[in-house]
Amino acid sequence: MRVVIEPDYEGMSRKAAAMVADLVRRKPDCVLGLATGSTPIGLYKELIRLSREDGLDFSRVTTFNLDEYHGLAPEHDQCYRYFMEKNLFEGLKTRPKRTSVPDGLARDVDGYCASYEKAIKDSGGIDLQVLGIGGDGHIAFNEPGSSLGSRTRLVVLTEETITDNSRFFASADDVPRFALTMGVATILEARKCLLLASGIKKSKVVREAIEGPVTSQITASALQLHPDTFAFLDEDAADLLELKDYYKHVEKMYGEHGVGRRAAVAATR
């Protein structure tokens, strides 16, 4: 895993967005995996800016979102389809060719989840997957204890996740207790993964995910097994990393010798 530490959230978001934009320019029909939550909003704002000011063209791009609350309609202001429309799709000068967010109202849940997996495969697979990390170390809604071989499925949310997400609802009682989510194995099949984390509250779980053992109790730790993952962090999120100075040294050396960007580009071809 390559760990990129920026001074602040804005710098981290710009750096991550530059990697996404580079892929879209090189492969206009690429497949992007997208995440919701507060952390990727800065990345999405930068992509909107690049779309409107620099002509970054999303018209041939396909997107798949990681997850969705079970039981929320697409027009609900806390569902993830609504989030993506408001925070990315509506702002782009050219919308992606096809956007997919799991259907929170699917009746045949098992059948629907299997069809979501098939749709990803039929698209050619995800070229780049954007990820956040939950307070309990989850990626997507793969809560602690999720199999590292898991696929898209219905999951029960932990009390910690419900509490964390209650800030977006009128009360914790309004937060759905179930969600549809891509599995850990589904995520690991993406050709490149971008893990984003910001703020001191994430520093402990970031350390566990990046430097701790690979374990189903911290599903983000499975990214250590992925051959091409970048973790974009601000200083606060990186605060507890034991190898923080080394990660910064790596980026400095790549920059001085001009090989870092070439390596990142080659890895997504």
Looking at residue 246, its amino acid is Y
- Positive or negative, the CA dihedral 91, 92, 97, 103 is negative
Task: Note if the pTM is more than 0.95.
Answer: no
For residues 23-50, average pLDDT = 98
Q: Is the pLDDT of residue 263 over 70?
A: no
Q: Which two tokens stand for residue 214?
A: 């690979």
For residues 226-242, average pLDDT = 98
Report the SS3 class of residue 182.
coil
Report the SS3 class of residue 86.
helix
- Positive or negative, the CA dihedral 156, 120, 15, 208 is positive
Q: Where are the alpha helices (DSSP H) in 128-229?
A: 159-165, 184-188, 203-211
Report the SS3 class of residue 219.
helix
Number of H helices and E strands in the chain, helices first, is 9, 10
Indicate the domain borders of the chain.
2-267
Looking at residue 33, its amino acid is G
**4 vs 262, more confident:** 4
Backbone angles phi, psi at 240, to 5 degrees: -100, 5
Q: How many angstroms separate the Cα of 236 from the Cα of each of 7, 49, 81, 180, 204? A: 8, 26, 30, 31, 10
For the stretch 69-92, pLDDT in tens is: 999 988 899 999 999 999 999 999
Predicted local confidence at residue 27, as pLDDT: 98
Predicted local confidence at residue 268, as pLDDT: 47
* Residue 213, H or E segment: none
Q: Is the pLDDT of residue 259 over 90?
A: no
Q: Is the pLDDT of residue 61 over 50?
A: yes
Q: Could you give the residue numbers annotated as active site?
A: 67, 136, 138, 143
Instruction: Pick 2-267's CATH classification: 3.40.50.1360, 3.40.50.460, 3.40.50.1820, 3.30.70.240.
Output: 3.40.50.1360
Predicted local confidence at residue 267, as pLDDT: 46
Percent of the chain surpassing pLDDT 70? 96
**261 vs 208, more confident:** 208
Quickly list DSSP for 118-145. Answer: HHHHHTT--SEEEE---TTS-STT--TT
CA atoms of 114 and 126, how far apart (whole Å)? 16
CA atoms of 68 and 189, how far apart (whole Å)? 20
Long-range contacts of 121-126 (CB under 8 A, 24+ apart): 123/31, 123/62, 123/64, 123/98, 124/31, 125/31, 125/189, 125/190, 125/191, 126/31, 126/32, 126/33, 126/64, 126/189, 126/190, 126/191
> Taking Cα atoms as reference points, which of 44, 58, 52 lies closest to residue 14?
44
Give the list of residues 6+ apart from residue 101 with CB closer than 8 angstroms, or none: 65, 68, 74, 80, 81, 84
**255 vs 200, more confident:** 200
Q: Is the pLDDT of residue 262 over 70?
A: no
